Amino acid sequence: MLPSAPLPPLRMSAPALTGRIDSAITLSTVARLVASGTAVSKADLAPAAGLARTTVSTAVDELLARGVLRQDGTRPTAGRGRPADRLALAPRGGHVLLADVGARGAHLAVVDLSQQILAHAHVDVDVTAGPDAALATIESRLTELRAKAPDGVPARAVVIGLPGPVDGHLGIPVRPPIMPGWHAYPVSVRLQQTFDCPVVLENDVNLRALGEARALPADQVPLLFVKVGTGIGGGLVTSEGVLHHGADGAAGDIGHVRVRGAPDDACVCGNVGCIEAVASAAAVARKLGSASATGSITGSIAELRGLLGRGDATAVGLVREAAGLIGELVATLVHFYNPARVTLGGSLTAASDELLAGVRSVVYQRALPLATRNLVLTNSVLGEYAGLAGAIVLGIERVLSAESIDTLTAGR
């Protein structure tokens, strides 16, 4: 039976590219295809971009003239044709400055548009000291790193990852539990003024998720990244290979959900029994400290890692307990997202395989076969550099985006 009132008009989805394709979009598409390595000659670019050969040829010539692309030798063609010019991103097209900031330290780097890391440092940054002190350290150390990179190449973008929820549109952290004083601080505006270029602000686990996904074959998405360190966080890369932020940027912020069987431990967020309060590396280290009969163990993450490395029975037991709780959470998320891959990262995974083994056993036991049939559940392949990799992706994509590419002229 038909409904008595007519249905409202319903929206149909439409491809993103409709109507007139303007030159900035063409330039951006061609540059990004070359940057991705999927098409590196004019002949390959036309079918890959879905554009006419003459359109592609004009765009390539313009990008070569602007110093965004360069010729990088030749590649053989099928049949008897002469070898085609091979294209690559020009190292002097611009630099991207990166800061992957964790709770206790930051990876800082300068890269060029061809993904070469020109300078890198791991520096002590204490986010609990507040935004002014932490950002001043990051700015001065990034400036030092820039001095080590080739001269006369402009900074085209800054990418910064922070260990808390962020609003990427406004460029501010939003009530980050472990970062006192950072709520609504204008991080992006400050760095934009310091380095005179656009700034991308992202959550640190999202950066890791994206870096991991883009380092793996394209069929490893959707990818869910679960970081177990000082806190617990998640990041999701969609089947299109991009980050899922949710309506307000809070997607993947899984540290403050509660799972079955969790004890009533108090959490920094004000609730009790959050997964972060009962199963993070910090929580396990704290329990290890209280379990120590002699009081010789203070309960730091470094101690926990040391004991795990030596196979200490109490430490291993506590990690297995934490893994059981994290496994419950991951099993729920696997049902909801049906990821191709779940990646575990953070300080606990680097120290031993106990966490991975424990999470795997719960997930494969609890999740239904359709969701786990092809699921890969493993430790991060990039380890502590996953965040830097994600920042490189976001930075170069930002520089080569349709809105930025028109401003690109080498050396300007």
- For the record, the structure tokens of 239 come out as 């089947």
Q: How far is the CB of 233 from Zn ion (least distance, A)?
A: 12
CA distances from 161 to 165, 255, 258, 287 (A): 10, 17, 26, 29
CA distances from 111 to 56, 62, 63, 276 (A): 27, 23, 20, 34
Q: How far is the CB of 332 from Zn ion (least distance, A)?
A: 17
Separation CA 364–CA 370 (nearest Å)? 11
Judge contact between 118 and 112, C-beta under 8 A.
yes
Q: In this chain, which of 274, 304, 318, 323 binds Zn ion, going by CB under 5 A?
A: 274
Per DSSP, the three-state class of 288 is: helix
Per DSSP, the three-state class of 302 is: helix
> Looking at the chain, how many residues does it have?
412
> Which one of the spans 204-212, 253-261, 306-314, 399-407 is the region binding Zn ion (CB under 5 A)?
253-261
Per DSSP bridges, beta strands 95-101 and 84-89 are: unpaired
> Contact between 275 and Zn ion (CB under 5 A)?
no
Rank residues 205 and 367 by Cβ distance to Zn ion and give the closer one.
205
- For the record, the structure tokens of 281 come out as 């590396």
> Which one of the spans 36-44, 132-140, 144-152, 260-268 is the region binding Zn ion (CB under 5 A)?
260-268
> Which one of the spans 126-134, 163-171, 198-206, 266-274 is the region binding Zn ion (CB under 5 A)?
266-274
> Contact between 326 and Zn ion (CB under 5 A)?
no
Rank residues 274 and 371 by Cβ distance to Zn ion and give the closer one.
274
Q: Which residues pair with 97 in a beta bridge?
A: 110, 158
Rank residues 283 and 388 by Cβ distance to Zn ion and give the closer one.
283
Q: In this chain, which of 214, 256, 258, 360 binds Zn ion, going by CB under 5 A?
A: 256
Q: In this chain, which of 267, 388, 392, 394 binds Zn ion, going by CB under 5 A?
A: 267
Q: How far is the CB of 177 from Zn ion (least distance, A)?
A: 7
Q: In this chain, which of 117, 178, 269, 356 binds Zn ion, going by CB under 5 A?
A: 269
**Nearest-CA neighbor of 166 among 185, 142, 191?**
185
> Contact between 155 and Zn ion (CB under 5 A)?
no
Binding residues (CB under 5 A) for Zn ion: these are 256, 267, 269, 271, 274
